[in-house]
Each structure stands twice: as C-alpha cells, then as structure tokens.
Structure 1
C-alpha cells in the first residue's frame, strides 16, 4: 500500500534527521544541521501526505490519529523554529517521537473514520492543535534548560553541552514560545465558547476545565516573568506542569474512552 511505503520512508527520514542533528551533541563533530533539516522537511511533507491519505483529507481526532496529527504539527513547528533560532536538540527529541507515532498510526492503530465537522469546529481544532504544538516545543526547551543548568552547576562540560545554544538564548526562546502559545490557547478557549455547543457537557467538561487550568498556569508564569523576573527552576516547573495539564485536557478522555472503555466518541 502506498501509504505504508510513505510511512516507512517518513520514519527513515525522521530518524536520519535526528541522527544528523545529534552528531555534534554526542561527539562534538561537524554539525549536519542543513542536511538534517532538509531530510526532516521531506519527512514532514510525507507525513502530511500520510495523514491526508489515511484519514481522507479530514481532521481525524481519534486517539492515535490525533497523536500523529499533533506530532506532525510539532515537527513542522520544530523546523520553523530551527530556521530562525537553531536548536538542534529540539529535533533530536521531537523527530524520533514523531517517527514512533507515524509507525503506530500507520501500522498498529485500528482504522477509523473522521467525524464530520462544521468549519467553526475545524477552526477551533486547528487553533488548538497549533497552541498545543507551540507549548509542546516550549516544554522540550524547558527540559533542555533544566539539563543545561544542572550541567553548569555540576561542571559537566561535555561536547553535547557545548553544542547547545547559550542558556540565555534557550530561556529567551522558551518565553517567546510560551507567550505565543498562551495567545493561541486563549484563542482556543474563545473559539470554544463561541463555536462549541454545550462546552461544559459530557466528555467536554474535563477538557474545558483542564484547559482553563493550563491557561492559568501559563498566565501566572508569564506574569511572574514580567513582574518578578521568574526564571530557572520555577519557570521550568511551571512550564512542565502547564503542559502536563494541557496534555490531559487533549488526550485524557480520548485514552479512557478508546483504549480502556473501547468506545469511540
């Protein structure tokens, strides 16, 4: 099947891109950023074709399809971030995870049919996916920031640390992404209020409440950064807490309904 062939090729390219980006992190060798990002770009295009082919060109929000779709968005955003602020370690983490989710969605997940949606719901879902993707990259950067700070405190100056961008650049990019993600998450909540019927109804109440909680966590973090200069461990912890809550909002009920109760929404 053509889709399976594209999936295998995308997986190989994602992993090759991650390997090229990991080279300076592991050995201090010459970076292969341009080649690696080119391979990742082709993988992202193939991934888009896989999603269109497998899910009939529609937004399929069943559990594994949604995971693959989110991985596609995160990988695409990782490429865009690297075009302006090269952070090779982002791809080292993101691209292998995306490859794994492509394998699961293409070869292991049961077939599903996309549910029909009005354009208003598609707009709401699209904004939500982009918000989740931006904040996911922020969470990865928060982990990298924590690792950098730990290594500096313990004087662990390996080649992988020297290959990472300066700490101040990582922190600046982190808060820019959180700011953008916060705006997009605000738009997600707004479009939900405007377009989603019975937002606090069955199967939606926990998503709504958890999304609001995540929005508050990121809002508090941005306020603390602006008013009190929060950074370091506090910023990392709040970023990861906010992202964990948001992940529960996006995928918590889907996992319970589809994987445990075996009920399709």
Structure 2
C-alpha cells in the first residue's frame, strides 16, 4: 500500500489544482503563477515517485498501456510547468490535470505483463525516451492549438472581452504554437531515426502500424511547417493540421498499443 501512496497523493493534488484553475476560469481571474507552479510541482513530484514504484520491479518493467499513458502525461505536465516559468502556457493545465488524475488512477488499478530488463538495451531506451518526449511536445502543441482555435473563434465573433482576455495576443499564441511544433517535429524525427537504428525490424508485424502512422504524422507536421514558412498558414489551417498530426501520432502508439495489449492480450514495449 505504501508504494501506492505517491500515486494517490498525485491524484489528490491534480484534482485540487484543477478545481483551483476551474474556479479562476469561471470567475475570469488571472492565474497566480506561483501557486500554479507550486501545486503542479508537488503533483508532478508525487506522480514521478508513484511511476517509479509502478514501473520498476525486481523481475522487470511494467510498460503497459495505462502506465505508458501516465508516463506521457507526467512528461507533458513537467514540460508545461518548466516552460510556464517564462511562457504563457499554464492555462493548458485546465485540460491536463483532470486527464492526469484519471491516467494515474487507471495505472493503479490495472496490471500488465512485465518486460524483462535485459530486453531494453541502451539504444532502445534512447528510442523510447525520444518517443515519449516527442509525444509530450506534440500533445502540448495540440492542446495549445485548441486554445488558439477558441481564441480565434471568440475574436472573429467580436468577443474580445471575458475569458479570452486571459490569453496572450493571437500572434503570440500562433508563434508559440509553431515553436512547439518545431521542437516536437525535430524530436519525432530523432525518434523515428533511432527506431530504425536500434530496433531489429521497424516493419515487423507488431510494429508496422506504429511505424507507418508515425511516419504519416511526420509528413503531416512537415506539410504544416512548410505551409507556415512558404504560405504563411495560420488560424484554422494551423489548428487543423496540428490536430490531424496529433491524432495520427497518438493512434500510432496508443492505438496500436491498445489493440495489441488490451484486445489481443499481447505484450508490447
């Protein structure tokens, strides 16, 4: 039970922090950055400690579907918290905190077969780390795109007051979105390349869907960045292509992992 305590604490802190953000949003009040950073830091620390107890076992690693989902949300939260010290993205927590609480809860109540420690080489660990970082960055870009779409809709309909004023100017939001997409695309490129280097066969039966969809997501993000640079894409174009790439990428990993592990009952990395 003591091993579960950090995860339970993380759920509680995420829930309380979400309640704080929701009240601020409903009342149209500015966030107190210090409070948000403090509470998110405590929640993330508890989340990390809880993940360690859930993932690392004497006989191997638990890398099941909900553990992986919890791990990605933890990295996303950490990136948002650190970036939020200087960038206006702390509002993303209003999406992330409730989802994180659910992910941690599901990781507690589900079990998966353990992966042998010897099966994860240094190269494979590098590939996994790059993949998680790419998923985290591009998840942040998708959430940011949703805020951008809402802000754009409000401004188009002459609703420049109220909750929309809590966000930075539209041009700042758009510039930040593409900065995040660039970072995610570079990391995704490194992840795909490392996969071809360190995995025996990227097109093996249990990996082919993940590989093809990941490469398709890479193409979608490349088109988006090309359109931004040469055609000046912004607004709805930016939002739609960002969300299309995100959905494809999430389907690549979590979709295939969901089918293979939870439906077919086979083990994956």
TM (normalized to structure 2)? Answer: 0.93
**Higher alpha-carbon deviation: 255-264 or 56-65:** 56-65
Task: Say how many residue pairs are matched.
Answer: 264
Checking the alignment, whether the CA contact within 8 Å between 2:55 and 2:63 is kept in structure 1 is no
User: Which of 121, 146, 169 pairs up with 1:143?
Assistant: 146
SS in 1 for 2:84: helix
- Which whole-Å CA distance do the structure 1 matches of 2:113 and 2:40 have between them? 27
Counterparts in 2 of 1:170 and 1:30: CA distance versus 1, 3 Å: closer
* Structure 1 partner of 2:78: 76
* Structure 2 partner of 1:110: 111
SS in 2 for 1:197: coil
**Higher alpha-carbon deviation: 193-202 or 126-135:** 193-202
**Higher alpha-carbon deviation: 40-49 or 252-261:** 252-261
Which blocks of at least 5 consecutive residues in structure 1 are unaligned?
none
User: Which of 235, 255, 261 pairs up with 2:238?
Assistant: 235
* Structure 1 partner of 2:197: 194
Which blocks of at least 5 consecutive residues in structure 2 are unaligned?
none
CA displacement 1:7-36 (0-9 Å, x = unmatched): 221112112223333343221235222112
- Which whole-Å CA distance do the structure 2 matches of 1:94 and 1:158 have between them? 25
Checking the alignment, whether the CA contact within 8 Å between 2:3 and 2:53 is kept in structure 1 is yes
Checking the alignment, whether the CA contact within 8 Å between 2:54 and 2:62 is kept in structure 1 is no
Cα offset, 1:254, TM superposition: 1.1
TM (normalized to structure 1)? Answer: 0.94
**Higher alpha-carbon deviation: 36-45 or 18-27:** 18-27
Cα offset, 1:37, TM superposition: 1.6
- Which whole-Å CA distance do the structure 2 matches of 1:155 and 1:109 have between them? 47
